[in-house]
Structure 1
Amino acid sequence: MATNSLPSSVSPALKFQVVAQQGRARTALMTLPHYVVETPVFMPVGTKGTVKGLTTEQLQDLDCHIILGNTYHLGNQPGHELVNSMGGLHGFINWPRGMLTDSGGFQMVSLLHLADITESGVEFQSPVDGSRMLLTPEESMAIQNGLGADIIMQLDDVVPATNVDPQRFEEATYRTTRWLDRCIKAHSRPNEQSLFPIVQGGFDVRLRDISLQQLVERDCPGYAIGGLAGGEGKDVFWRVVAQSTAGLPPGKPRYVMGIGYPLDIVICRWAGARNRTVRRTQTGA
């Protein structure tokens, strides 16, 4: 298939061009303000700005194109104001290539015993000193705007995959869309940072379709697939990824969150996903 007939998209801070496609599997170039990322791509996690055990020079030697920083932890320490004063995360860690920050939402799962979730946002109790922190969609955007990553994530309502309450997934699906609208309104640097929504809905086909429809209507630069890799069976996980990629725009990047096992990466690429991550190290398509 000729390159000029393959899907693409252009937004203020991201250009995406599919360069080859077979079935749903595709390769593409994702042009960010700091680097051109070749996808599919595996994205290592640098929770506080560092990938454990590796320097940024070593990451470049390994041809790493993009790494992930954690909004919750960086917002707590050293704080986004300090990072911003040092040239954002790129300057803070001396990293000239792509950077993505999560929203802080994953801590609703990893720190669930320390979190209270309401329509306003998520209130966390610090595991260090017991102080309270309210993370709202607006605060998540303020922190991420200060950190300055090329791609930033919406604050979504994350439900553990092992939760058995269908009403909780229903609530989270619609709340994620409402929080996305608040994130879009609060995002102060759309010409420098691309905001990605996160598809939710658990394993429910109906809820996933609702989430897909609502988020695609917002016409964002790229999309993430969330709420997976939390202990569910492989057959369920792969089915949800396939459903989600089928409903997302063909000319925009897709980030499957939280995965890293080699087989999952292969299957997700076949299903048309492109940006993937794991908590040990994270990935994208």
Structure 2
Amino acid sequence: MVPSDHPRQSEFAFRVDARLTGDPGKGRGGDVTLGRTGTITTPHGEIQTPAFIAVGTKATVKAVLPESVRDLGAQAVLANAYHLYLQPGPEILDEAGGLGKFMNWAGPTFTDSGGFQVMSLGSGFKKVIEMSVAASAPAGADDAVAPGKERLAHVDEDGVWFTSHLNGDRHRFSPEISMNVQHKIGADIMFAFDELTTLQNSRGYQEESLERTRRWAERCVAEHFRLTDERAGKPYQALFGVIQGAQYEDLRRKACRDLGAMPFDGFGIGGALEKENLGTIVGWCSEELPEDKPRHLLGISEPDDIFVSIEAGADTFDCVSPTRVARNSAFYTAEGRLNLAGAKYRRDWGPLQDGCDCYTCQNYSRAYIRHLYKAKELLSHTLISIHNERFVVRMVDDARKAIEDGTFWEFKAETLGRYYGARV
């Protein structure tokens, strides 16, 4: 039996502020779309949506001071329950007063459930699970594992046994354990524990997994409410259900109806999908999920993906990409992503992006940052990461403003036209 709403849920709120109208062919006219702006209210502040959420996997946005993350305009950060569970341990964060105090971040925080890392690292796919249908596993394979790797995560009805990628220790995650871990970590928004599938899994396994995720969602809600009562002196933590279903419309819609009927505070849209189907799948979910609750799209940051997701009704997004590519000297510009490793930047005294308002571009040249990268000085990671995070945060902020003033379609066309050039 799924419990009814908890009285403390009023401490978390979402309000729709404006709606996106029209389409590229109709300009500013036309019907109301699924896109919208809104305001999420948490115990540690508001998030104006759409918003890009900076990823601080291990309670740090890699190579960037929390103060710099604030200054570049990020409204919230997302940490990873799997990694923080393994190191330093949720008890440490609880003693510190929660994730925000632990990392000196005063704003809103998110934690994912750890399910993605349990499944992906447990399958030997390192940072990501191969979502392409061209992956090495044959179609219909229900035990996809990376080439040359062995399975380190095993799913059963109660939860998942997995092996730590740090030291080989064996651990157990279940809905109840994930809720306990995330409550101790103390983020404002956390996600229910779910099973992640790949596009290689058979239709039959997708159906089986979806039902398991539904049952786990019920258990997450029950344990979340129990812990909310037990930890009455702590700020209320919102719980988002996670929508799976791969690329099957009926499964995605069923998951939305099933979890949408549960007393979640919001929803995460996750799982396996191909890039060209992103907007369609997010749209299915937005049509089914409760209108008065926020929708978080897990793991995207490419400009075209962000725009199509905003149109389809996603409110917040997260991705590690801005800092990950920065560590390989890649930086974003209005004309596309470039790489400082090229020799042509050796005597380039201009900023990473002309007109950019980030700290890096206001103070450092391409030539200097390239020198740092070539000399293996870690400051290059910091300076490029600040710029890349600011680039994506500002783009989403500007998209929100464009919805509000009725210029979204023009802004989208100009932004993507410059970024991708002839590819758009």
1:182 aligns with 2:189: no
1:111 to 119, 122, 125: 122
What are the equivalent positions in structure 2 for 1:14-163 lying under 5 Å apart?
14-22=12-20, 23-107=33-117, 108-112=119-123, 113-160=151-198, 162-163=199-200
Cα distance in 2 between the residues matched to 1:243 and 1:64? 28
Structure with greater helix share of residues: 2
Matched, 1:246 2:287: yes
SS of residue paired to 1:171: helix
Deviation at 1:18, TM superposition (A): 1.1
- The corresponding residue for 2:249 is 205
Percent identity (aligned)? 37
CA distance in 2, matches of 1:219, 1:85: 29
Q: Which amino acid aligns with 1:211?
A: A
Q: Deviations over 1:76-107 (max 9, x none)?
A: 11000011001111111011001000001001
Q: What is the rounded CA distance, in whole Å, between the counterparts of 2:50 and 2:277 in structure 1?
A: 22
- How well do the aligned residues superpose, as a CA RMSD in angstroms? 1.9
Runs (4+) of structure 1 exceeding 6 A deviation are: 282-285
Distance 1:49 1:116 in 2: 27
Deviation at 1:208, TM superposition (A): 1.1
Task: Give the Cα–Cα distance (whole angstroms) in 1 for the partners of residues 122 and 300 of structure 2.
Answer: 19
Q: Give the residue type in structure 2 aligned to 1:141.
A: M
Aligned equivalents of 1:200 and 1:192: distance in 2? 26
Report Cα offsets for 1:172-192 as digits up to 9, x if no partner: 111111001111111112760
* Amino acid aligned to 1:111: G
Q: Distance in 2 between matches of 1:13 and 1:54?
A: 30
Counterpart of 1:121 in structure 2: which amino acid?
A: G
Change (3 A) 1:279 1:175: farther
Asked if 2 retains the 8 angstrom alpha-carbon contact of 1:44 and 1:280, the reply is no
Gaps of 5+ in 2: 1-7, 21-32, 124-150, 230-234, 323-391, 401-424
Gaps in structure 1 of 5+ consecutive residues? 1-9
Choose the corresponding residue for 1:173, options 185, 198, 210: 210
What amino acid does structure 2 have at the position aligned with 1:114? Answer: L
Kept in 2, the 8 Å contact 1:154–1:195? The answer is: yes
Correspondence for 2:134: none
TM-score, length-normalised on structure 1? 0.91
**Separation in structure 2 between the aligned mates of residue 164 and residue 192 of structure 1, nearest angstrom:** 37
Further displaced range: 16-25 or 78-87: 16-25
State the alpha-carbon separation in 2 of the partners of residues 14 and 91 from structure 1.
19
Which amino acid letter does the alignment assign opposite residue 303 of structure 2? P
**Equivalents in 1 of 2:272, 2:306: separation in Å?**
13
Per-residue deviation, residues 212-258 of structure 1 (Å, max 9, x unmatched): 110011032111111045xx2x3322211111111111121000111
CA contact (8 A) 2:37 2:49 kept: yes
The count of aligned residue pairs is 272
- Are the aligned partners of 2:221 and 2:264 in contact in 1 as well (CA < 8 Å)? no
- Helix, strand or coil at the partner of 1:49: coil
Deviations 1:161-211 (A, max 9, x none): x32411221111111110011111111127600000011111111111211
Larger radius of gyration, structure 1 or 2? Answer: 2
Post-superposition shift, 1:12? 2.6
Relative contact order (alpha carbons < 8 A, sep ≥ 6): 1 or 2 greater?
1
Deviation at 1:124, TM superposition (A): 1.0
1:228–1:237 contact (8 Å) kept in structure 2: no
8 Å contact kept, 2:55–2:78: yes
